[in-house]
Chain A
Amino acid sequence: MSDILKHIPVGYIANQVAHQMGLAEGIPGLRSTTTLGDIMEQYQQAKLSANYIRGKIGEKKNKVRDRVDRRLAREFEKNKTQSSSTSRTYSPTGSYNPSPLPKQYQGGASDFNRLADQQAKQSSQYLADQQNDDDPASFNQNKAKRDLNSAKKEATDKFKKEAQELLMKTAEKIAKKLGLRTVSLSSGSTGVGLIVTFIIWSGQAILGNLMGSKIVPKLDWWEFILWLVVGLALLGILILASALLVLISDPVGVGWDALSNWISS
């Protein structure tokens, strides 16, 4: 951009206009020293950032597409071996990575289906391109389509099953924790219930929080602190009560005397 345009004082002009029109505080966020060059630079940077973000999103999409490609290729090969097909060999590039899809794509069956559809189309095209002149073309093409469709269905079903299992496990875990909490809180409303609550909490605190058991759910931080406080209080009461009992029973006959001496001194 030429220097003449670059030095146009856009901020100054805008703030002058604002003052003329009664906007005493001027334009918010636009200083009088801002020039056209500053504004252009700001938008160049914004454009660069947008391009960078767009590039990053593109990379991520490509990674997912590659992973789905590998999975489908593997399913295709597996299916082909099982049916001892005579159709032309499909040659996937790269080895299959057996790790599951990333978490953000688990549960997104529609995304998976869309990508799988794309892959099916690409693979059909690939097979059509690779068709040998000697082979009966239509037979091979139909066979390849059937194989791909069944591979796609199988992969989708497997994926859905995995997602459902994960959902069930999480739901069970939450239900277990909620159930325990309901029992302990409802029983806490009675005197006996307080003891039951304390016993349940003790179990959860020792097994869940301290020993890190995966079966027993952990106490929340506030429950843990409350449990500690109540535990210490109970211990204190127990010690005091036993001391009192010793004094009352007075096994050696010096208890009350000692106490009265101490009080009178």
Chain B
Amino acid sequence: MLNDVEEKIDSSVEALELALSENKSLEMIKPLFENLVEALSRKLVLNLNKIKDDNIDLSEEKMAVMQAEEVERYKETVAYFAHYVDKNFNDRS
């Protein structure tokens, strides 16, 4: 399951990079970015479930902290890709 999701992320990133290298417009890039966000979200859900399963003995507070860290990592990744796309557009103009 995780492998499938990671493959989807890789293919989404490749598609995004291809579109950027071909100087596609933002309207064309938006759905590709949304695909990437969706793939990353799938990975996030899998990771959150894994945290739950691997740490059954942990208290709810500690579990919440670990999950919040995972969500922060997800946001960071999304922000990184957004910055990447943004920078590419700025360099273009």
Smallest CB separation, B63 vs chain A (Å): 10
Cβ B42 vs Cβ A8 within 8 A: no
Please report the C-alpha to C-alpha distance between residue A21 and residue B38 in the assembled complex, in whole angstroms.
Answer: 12
Q: Closest residue of chain A to B67, judged by CB?
A: A28
Smallest CB separation, A68 vs chain B (Å): 38
Is A23 part of the binding interface, using a Cβ–Cβ cutoff of 8 Å? yes
Cβ A4 vs Cβ B30 within 8 A: yes
Query: How extensive is the interface on chain B, given as a class?
Result: 20 to 34
User: What secondary structure prevails in chain B residues at the interface with A?
Assistant: helix
Is A245 part of the binding interface, using a Cβ–Cβ cutoff of 8 Å? no
CB < 8 Å neighbour of B26 from A4, A14, A30, A36:
A4
Please report the C-alpha to C-alpha distance between residue A105 and residue B79 in the assembled complex, in whole angstroms.
Answer: 40
User: What secondary structure prevails in chain A residues at the interface with B?
Assistant: helix
Please report the C-alpha to C-alpha distance between residue A29 and residue B63 in the assembled complex, in whole angstroms.
Answer: 13
| Chain A neighbourhood of B27, CB < 8 A | 4
**A7-63 with Cβ < 8 A to chain B:** 8, 10, 13-14, 17-18, 21, 23, 27-30, 36, 39-40, 42-43
Is B34 part of the binding interface, using a Cβ–Cβ cutoff of 8 Å? yes
The 5 lowest CB-CB distance pairs between A and B, nearest first, are A14-B41, A17-B41, A43-B79, A4-B26, A21-B45
